[in-house]
Amino acid sequence: MAVHPIEERYGTPAMRAVWSEKNRFDCIVAVEVALAKAEAAHGMIPPEAATGIEGQAPMASLERAKAIESEISHDMMAIVKALSDVCGEAGRWVHYGATSNDILDTATGLQLAEALSLIEGKLRLLLRVLLQRSDETKSLVCTGRTHGQHGVPTTYGLRFAIWASEVGRHIERLGQLRPRVVVGQMTGAVGTQAALGPKAMEIQATMMELLGIGSVDVSSQVISRDRYAEYFMFCANVATTLDKIGIEIRSLQRTEIGEVEEAFGANQVGSSTMPHKRNPIMSEQVCGLARIIRSAVGPALANNTLWDERDLTNSSCERVLFPEASILTDHCIRLMTTVLEGLVINRAAIRRNLAFLHGINMAESVMIELTRRGMNRQDAHERVRIASMQALVEVRPLADVLASDQEVLRYCSRTDLVALLNPDSYIGTSVRQVERVIEKLTPLCA
């Protein structure tokens, strides 16, 4: 029976598999095999021992390890015993010179490599969708809003491009953090490598090369948790971008705005009591789960403040943090990609909202032109401000109010004013900016 929603409701099978009990066991066994091979390569154990351990390792079972753990209450030693038992004479060399966290933290490095690869693939797909939507809507003029109020126009293409730029930076961050996060260690009980002899540093390097991950320069009994904290902060940052997109979609899907809408299935039900409802439930799910992902940052930072060379307070915490944050981040990226792929854009509502204030939202355009034609900028601002307030109160087109100001007419005719209040002519370099973003970020989609 599932207890946590990541077991059956949220997440992809691939990411769940990364953090499964079985994969954790397999990663630990793979690290033990790499240790034996590295020690044999540097003359610390007999070559035939490493060959025996590698050959028999697939016979070790998670079930046997769990049975042993129930007797000895030590998860790592239980795996060591389970592996040793199937390796015959070579089993005496399993785990030689290592301490638990040499193996456990290095196994975590393997899991993080898998997790980051899955997240990266989904981020690249999300970026591709955002760039496609940017290109499709680069000239689609819409109402810009600041403080929740109508401002000057923008374009949907620019909105999508801004989100795409954030996702592009996340892909760059992922590449930058990977070598700091995907690492292992073989440093012994307190980091001195005393049990590994004079070739200890070479053994560690060879072991990590065999595993295909980076090697720490120094560590105590555990890898410093600032590395893992960076991973959780990355997940939180990605989740916050998705949250930002979700909030905007939810806002724009409000009935009274109605500019966009999540795709709604023919048989989909929006409410158990209100049959008419078409709710942005996927965006709401992303926004809600983003809160959980961000909540991992505090404990992850605290995990770096362990006693002396280590204590165990990080261990139980990380058993929750790693699968939960990784699975939910992966899930939210996939979900938001689905939302954006199917997002319905209501062009009629966009035009309706652009005209909602009868040109008042275009006041800046008039102020700028009056100044350009010779009026003092501060005077232009005040005249247009007063006219805008009057137009709001009287619910009149701004062009009519401005045309009654003779000082304004000295610089701009009524025909000029009507042209200046056309939102389609006041989007600046929006199209060019979108095209620049598409050109820059398209290579990251590969």
pLDDT tens-digit map of 317-369: 999 999 999 999 999 999 999 999 999 999 999 999 999 999 999 999 999 99
Given a cut of 90, whether residue 65 has pLDDT beyond it is yes
| Cα–Cα dist 272/260, whole Å | 23
**Under DSSP, is residue 11 helix (H, G, I), strand (E, B) or coil?**
coil
How much of the chain, in percent, has pLDDT values that exceed 90?
A: 91
How much of the chain, in percent, has pLDDT values that exceed 70?
A: 99
Structure tokens at 233: 């902060």
pLDDT tens-digit map of 42-52: 999 999 999 99
Of 70, 147, 272, 276, the active-site residue reads 147
Given a cut of 90, whether residue 236 has pLDDT beyond it is yes
Q: According to the model, what pLDDT value does residue 2 have?
A: 79
Asked if 102 and 188 touch (Cβ cutoff 8 Å), the reply is yes
Given a cut of 90, whether residue 273 has pLDDT beyond it is no
Spatial CA neighbour of 370 closest among 381, 386, 354, 359: 381
Given a cut of 70, whether residue 222 has pLDDT beyond it is yes
147 is catalytic: yes
- Section 79-86 average pLDDT: 97
Ranges 63-67, 76-80, 275-279, 436-440: which has the least confidence: 275-279
Q: According to the model, what pLDDT value does residue 271 have?
A: 63
Given a cut of 80, whether residue 213 has pLDDT beyond it is yes
Q: According to the model, what pLDDT value does residue 289 have?
A: 97
Of 139, 271, 413, 425, the active-site residue reads 271
pLDDT tens-digit map of 103-151: 999 999 999 999 999 999 999 999 999 999 999 999 999 999 999 999 9
Given a cut of 90, whether residue 240 has pLDDT beyond it is yes
Asked if 101 and 114 touch (Cβ cutoff 8 Å), the reply is no
Structure tokens at 125: 């797909």
pLDDT tens-digit map of 6-44: 888 999 999 999 999 999 999 999 999 999 999 999 999
| Cα–Cα dist 93/81, whole Å | 11
| Cα–Cα dist 161/182, whole Å | 31
Strand pairing class (214-215; 183-184)? parallel
pLDDT tens-digit map of 151-165: 999 999 999 999 999
pLDDT band at 251 (very low <50, low <70, confident <90, very high): very high
Strand partners, 189: none
Angle at 371 (CA atoms; ends 367, 372), nearest 5 degrees: 115
Q: According to the model, what pLDDT value does residue 278 have?
A: 83
Q: According to the model, what pLDDT value does residue 275 have?
A: 76
Quote the pTM value: 0.95
Spatial CA neighbour of 222 closest among 193, 188, 195, 194: 188
For residue 231, what are the CA distances in angstroms to 112, 173, 201? 9, 10, 26
| Cα–Cα dist 107/116, whole Å | 14
- Average pLDDT of the chain is 95
| Cα–Cα dist 145/393, whole Å | 20
271 is catalytic: yes
